[in-house]
Amino acid sequence: MLLNLIVLAVSLFFVVQCATLATRYAVRLAESFRISKYVVGFIIVAVISIMPETFISINSAIAGMPSFGLGTLFGSNVADLTFVFAVIIAISGRGIKIQSTILKNNAAYPFLLLIPLMLGFDGYYSRLEGAALIVTGAIFYYLAFKNGFNEGMVRGRLDHRAKNLCLLVSCMAVLLAGSHYTVISASALAADLGISPILIAMLIVGLGTTMPELLFSLKSVQRNDDALALGDVLGTVLADATVVVGILALISPFSFPQKTIYITGTFMVFAAFLLFSFMRSGKILSKKEGGLLFAFWMLFACGEFFLNI
């Protein structure tokens, strides 16, 4: 058991480190073009931030445990919408400012998270449903990119772009290997402890995969780039719930415990509605609201623990 725990910890460490570095290189690459900070966060950084849970989910599907991947995705989404914002507010010591355009452009955001729940209500994702989820995510990202791209001359040198692209690809290669060992060690640890692998996926692996967006968003808030931080987290959650789940279903249609949808999925949607209600109240996420978001995540963690042991 100790060996499996060590392998899991080391694998997650490499996953988080490589995803964090990949995020840095992706931002440098994106900043060579005239793209708004929110779009850089919502699309460019979010695409890199989802790589840990994406690779872990794909490896779990290949290993014949797709429900482990789904648990990781939904668990990390709940943590992103609550725990991550609570930690950012606590460490930065101030509230997060919300731009009016963000609220306007994302009015339907919480409702989009209902789509994977409705499609998976029967405890099964088919290839057709997977394709529908990918299309849903792609359309939303296209609209976000279209509204946030500013025409203008390219900034940055071509050789710098090539360097950042090579470093980005290298980090993703190591991240893929780390994800493989994360799945293997997590499932072995669950067997040693006699608990459901989904519990480890939701509370340990899911929380661990939120570290890249947490670190990136924290640095953004410290630089007063609140829109960049907000875009990163919201973009990551939406991609996980639509595109990544869709990819899993396309690779191999799969069944999963229905309580994953009924409980974890419901927590995810409620977390989104709670977050957006706070964002609209005064257009700032205050310290008090950060505390409430943390309390919501604790409720989620306790609920999942007692329902899956």
Contact 96, 226 (CB under 8 A): yes
pLDDT tens-digit map of 76-108 = 899 999 999 999 999 888 888 887 666 666 677
CA 7 to chain centre: 23
Tell me the C-alpha distance between 26 and 21, whole Å: 9
| Domain that includes residue 16, residue range | 2-308
Alpha-carbon gap, residue 40 to 47, rounded angstroms: 10
Alpha-carbon dihedral angle through residues 300, 227, 51, 149, given to the nearest 10 degrees: 140
Minimum mean pLDDT among 9-13, 112-116, 177-181, 224-228: which range?
177-181
CATH of the domain at 17: 1.20.1420.30
Q: Is the pLDDT of residue 242 over 80?
A: yes
Across residues 169-187, what is the average pLDDT? 68
Integer angstrom CA distances of residue 24 from 148, 153, 176, 247, 274 = 20, 22, 18, 25, 30
Q: How far does the chain reach from its first CA to its final CA, in angstroms?
A: 17
pLDDT score recorded for residue 152: 39
Determine contact, residues 290/89, Cβ cutoff 8 Å: yes
* Number of domains present in the structure of the chain: 1
What pTM did the predictor assign? 0.80
* HSE of 235, CA atoms in CB hemisphere, 13 A: 32
- The pLDDT assigned to 102 comes to 65
Confidence category of residue 181, pLDDT binned at 50, 70, 90: low
Helices 85-92, 211-222: axis angle to 10 degrees equals 40
